[in-house]
A and B are shown apart, each in its own frame.
Chain A
Amino acid sequence: MDFKLTPEQEALKKEFEDFFEVEMKHEPEDWVWGLEGLFSDAGWPFNVYMAKRLAEKGWLVRPWPEEYGGCNAPMIEQLIFGDVLGYYCAPGVDPLGVGMIGPTILAVGTEEQKKEHLPPIAKAERFWCQGWSEPNAGSDLASLTTKAVKDGDDWILNGQKCWNTGAHRADWCFTIARTNPEERRSKGLTYFILDMKSPGVSVVPIESMDGSKHFNEIYFDDVRVPSRNVIGEVNGGWAITQATMNYERSSVGIMSGASRGLNELVQYCKETSLRGKPLSQNPHVRHRLAQLAIDIEVGRTLSYRVGWLQEKEDIMAAAAAACGAKVYSTELWQRVAFTGIEIMGLYGTVAKGSKWAVLKGQFEDLAQSTPGYKLGGGTSEIMRSIVAWVGLGLPRIK
């Protein structure tokens, strides 16, 4: 066993760090990492700027083949990249374009689809949103009711999607709709991609509890999608949604983001006295921070294990560990947020923008956004169920 990075990997890591160290100086005033930071009026131009800088460096899609803008980077390098990106809380990597639809098209798309859609992702020219969930189809995605009906060489889509992160900023959408009404549940579903400027597409924001707007509803009202924008087989969409879920899911970025958050909290506690006594000397505070440090280090080893299993293509073990890492990292992220605001006491409730805000109000912000991270991309409960079925072979009730 060997946990060392090679000198080349160390050098690469240093290169990533140097880049983000410089580029993060462009962050807008009072900017805080998170979904709001990615999609707000102030944050979106920064996100796009960073995406383009990463594209110029050739770092946006490093694991992809060279012909589509990547360099066939091995999983370990991607882990290192995600680790550094997460630590700097940097925007720029479209989790939906770079993270989901790109790898999906690479895996199951036609040559024509690859040529049309992969380069704009690699060059940060096209941003994506995901149109999967519906008001009555959340964890039970297969019960979705958005319909697509064949009309000549096109499909006509009607229905409502929701929880569409960044749909108001996105150029394109990947979605799934029922194409065979005779078949039930996961059968009879087809995977589509569509231009968000298509007539009949409308986006309505969903306001989060903190007032930010990054989730949306998408309405499809007789939206015409050409057949060439079907991914995979007609009525064969379900298997592709499952495949899409299986790309890099080490959650390493959240673990390292948590580590950054902890470092800032530690610094704050060293510098801050409450009622005459430094917070860092309060045994309760010390132990809460130490427990977070333990949880974060453990989480990082879990992320690297997931990457290792993915690299070895140990699919079942990787899937179980990845689901475990998703639960672990999002729960950890919320603990970091709660620990932060609880240590700060009343100051923990001050929102960014106020002169009384502590650490730019990022923990106040996080405490409200982290519940969503435990739900998006598969709730903690669904993740635990998958661990039980896939990792432990427990029976699944149909």
Chain B
Amino acid sequence: MALRLSREQAAIELPDTEEQVLSLPSVRKALGEETASSRGEPEVAAAPEMGDDDEADLEDLGEDDFYADALEDA
């Protein structure tokens, strides 16, 4: 019985709404949302797109090219 109750409780605690998703301060900061009053709708990600490159082109990239945008050491 206790096991069943704990399972049900765990299910209840899952973040179901957008409000819950953005409830922790660190999450709001990470998403650039400082306060509840300034909170806007999160930007909806566009459908995955390949742009001008296709899979074959990407696979042809050398390792140096792949890491060309990597940040440097301080």
Bound pair (A, B)? no
Q: State the B residues within 8 Å of A (CB).
A: none
